[in-house]
Amino acid sequence: MDKSALTATAEALVAPGKGILAADESSGTIKKRFDSISVESTEDNRRVYRQMLFTTPGASDHISGVILFDETIRQSADDGTPFPKLLAGQGVIPGIKVDTGAKPLAGSEGETVTEGLDGLRERLAEYYELGARFAKWRATYTITDSLPSSYCYDVNAHALARYAALCQEANIVPIVEPEVLMDGTHTIARAANVTAHALGALYRALFDQGVYLPGTLLKPNMCLSGYGAAEQASDEEVAKTTIGVFEYTVPAAVPGIVFLSGGQSDEQATARLNLMNQMGPHPWQLSFSYGRALQAPALKAWGGKPDNLGAGQAAYAKRARLNGLARSGDYKPEMEAA
């Protein structure tokens, strides 16, 4: 493990004004997104779409890294340049999703455990050779009146820590993603309680397994009301509650927190990140690792048509720029109309 290299990569990923593009959608997920614009999800259409994002002029001013899917890290641009090399040439760090998805947790109906540890050491070595310098592993937690169980917290924390240790052995920065799902009718207070428990279990496991925290990043949910809740928390309440949870669960040794958007609208994800940064300074950088919240306007503007590549890139560049401004609390809602 090269601690100095891991720290340098982690800090570069949360450099001021920058955040991460999550372009690691599984084949099933990107098919749904392509279906929404009536485009067939072929390997080349996926390649063309991601090339549009990766070659957007000026995006590297606000994007520090890109999480790739296994298919994408092996693809190349039209001129033959492998995508990891294309990104690195712009100063953007290539990353890779390495888990194989959340599967039903044996003995606990309604809960999941994320799989993918078998063969991970060998896959990480290959991904490093392909250019990846950071990775991502997502665990999910469902809120009901009785869930999550302590069993679910513990097994997912253990898997996240095992993944993180293997990443660092391969000199790849692990992003640990314990996502508390916001489906349901629960209150923001309930979401905060579950998020705190998930993070507490995670950091105990990371400590127990000797993971070097300055060479890691956290990718959490914001604390939100359940999407089906009668009363939705305000942006200010979301920001205040989320920061409150992190202040007593996330060690200061962690260089940065890169939020997932978790079904929030593009504008909500940006505005709430902005509010949290206005509440600083914090012990860690507060950044973003958005997928749909960065890509949705670009996907719609592109529509699968070659003539719309410029419009797609402009839409993506705008969202990247606005989220870059939210990193310092300088975003303003009126910028959406500019």
Question: Could you tell me the CATH number of the domain that includes residue 145?
Answer: 3.20.20.70
Per residue in 300-316, pLDDT tens? Answer: 999 999 999 999 999 99
Torsion of CA 36, 92, 265, 284, to 10 degrees: 150
Q: What is the token pair recorded at 156?
A: 């997912």
Quote the CA–CA distance of 19 and 324 in Å, as a whole number: 7
pLDDT value of position 212: 98
Q: What is the mean pLDDT of residues 199-215?
A: 98
Q: What is the token pair recorded at 20?
A: 């991460």
User: Which residues sit opposite 94 in a β-bridge?
Assistant: 66
pLDDT value of position 175: 98
Does 23 score more than 90 pLDDT? yes
User: Which residues sit opposite 178 in a β-bridge?
Assistant: 139
Q: Percentage of the chain with pLDDT > 90?
A: 98
Question: How does residue 320 score in pLDDT terms, banded at 50, 70 and 90?
Answer: very high
Q: What is the mean pLDDT of residues 324-338?
A: 95
Per residue in 152-186, pLDDT tens? Answer: 999 999 999 999 999 999 999 999 999 999 999 99
Q: What is the mean pLDDT of residues 27-40?
A: 94
Contact between 123 and 149 (Cβ < 8 Å): no
* Catalytic (active site) residue 177: yes
Quote the CA–CA distance of 27 and 235 in Å, as a whole number: 33
pLDDT value of position 149: 98
pLDDT value of position 105: 98
Amino acid, single-letter form, for residue 302: W
Per residue in 225-277, pLDDT tens? Answer: 999 999 999 999 999 999 999 999 999 999 999 999 988 999 999 999 999 99
Per residue in 95-120, pLDDT tens? Answer: 999 999 999 999 999 999 999 999 99
pLDDT value of position 331: 98
In the block, which residue shows the tokens 């809960």? 111
**Axis-axis angle for helices 292-302, 309-326 (nearest 10):** 160
Query: Which listed residue (97, 177, 179, 318) is catalytic?
Result: 177
pLDDT value of position 263: 84
Per residue in 229-241, pLDDT tens? Answer: 999 999 999 999 9
Q: What is the token pair recorded at 306?
A: 């070659």
Q: What is the mean pLDDT of residues 59-80?
A: 98
Question: How does residue 338 score in pLDDT terms, banded at 50, 70 and 90?
Answer: confident
* Catalytic (active site) residue 219: yes
* Helix, strand, or coil (residue 285): strand
Q: Percentage of the chain with pLDDT > 70?
A: 100
Q: What is the token pair recorded at 325?
A: 């401004």
Question: How does residue 207 score in pLDDT terms, banded at 50, 70 and 90?
Answer: very high
Query: Which listed residue (219, 231, 247, 334) is catalytic?
Result: 219
Domain extent, residue 78, equals 3-337
Q: What is the mean pLDDT of residues 83-96?
A: 98
**Axis-axis angle for helices 150-169, 120-130 (nearest 10):** 50
Q: What is the mean pLDDT of residues 284-305?
A: 96
pLDDT value of position 243: 98
Q: Report how many domains make up the chain.
A: 1
